[in-house]
Amino acid sequence: MNATLKLQQAHRSIRSYTDEPVSDAMLDAIIAAAQRAPTSMNMQEISLVVVRDAGRRARIAEMAGSQPWIAQASVFITVVIDFHKTDLGVRKAGLAQLIQESMEGFGVAAVDAGIVLANLMLAAQSLGLGVVPIGGIRRDPQGMIDLLGLPPLTFPLVGLCLGHIAHDAPQKPRLDSRTFRHDERYDASGYSAAIDVYDETLKHHWREVTRSQGLPWSEALAARLHSVYFPQVKPVAAMQGLLNDK
């Protein structure tokens, strides 16, 4: 197994950081790796907003649901859907952009944002830094838009903490690989049994890491997925011009 595969398979989310700053050289290399990520039809409809200011990181930590590691990590990067950028190109060519009004537009931008996020994470980890992606910025998307000065036709989709690791984290177990990989045709016949096993595995994991509030997978899902947990995403995206109605 090569070094890249070892790094990817050793992934864990880091939520404890030192106060050592990430160097300009490191950050520039990480951003450059992310910019080379592929985007559909070369749209390049993703932008990054890099926040290093401690006060602004503290504000993001609060908006994301009081996540202290956002304030602690020396860098926070917001991955932004940016149809403002593409709109300028379309207008230059003499046409009106429509993609931001479609479900396809939001979907393809989310895919491309995920690829950029993966590049950011792998690049940072290859330099020995710790990372944790933050979906909690969608708890208050309007607050993020205001803080970052985002124009219409943009949306703050996901964030990333990165910094030097203070305390490492154990790797969380996963469901049986047969619930992830399907050969030739989708097969969910083993899902129920696999979930039963995984619930027990995860309960054992929480005991090992002395996290008394940790729940089995099925209970954790039920606590989150029985409602729309970030209800401001749709109305704020619509106000930004990302309508998703076509």
Write out pLDDT tens, residues 95-112. 999 999 999 999 999 999
- Decide if 216 contacts 197 (C-beta within 8 A): no
pTM given for the model: 0.96
Q: What's the pLDDT score for residue 164?
A: 98
Cβ neighbours around 151 below 10 Å, total: 13
Residue boundaries of the structural domains of the chain: 3-171, 173-229
- Dig out the tokens for 165 from the structure: 């690791």
- Dig out the tokens for 206 from the structure: 């929480």
Q: Report the 3 state secondary structure along 158-198.
A: EEEEEECECCCCCCCCCCCHHHCCCCCCCCCCCHHHHHHHH
The CATH T-level fold of domain 3-171 is NADH Oxidase (3.40.109)
Q: What's the pLDDT score for residue 244?
A: 86
- Dig out the tokens for 176 from the structure: 């049986």
CA distances from 221 to 158, 199, 203, 216, 224 (A): 20, 11, 14, 9, 5
- Decide if 125 contacts 168 (C-beta within 8 A): no
168: Cβ contacts below 8 Å, ≥ 6 apart: 12, 14, 16, 130
In the chain, which stretches have pLDDT less than 50? none
Pairing label, strands 75-82, 154-163: antiparallel
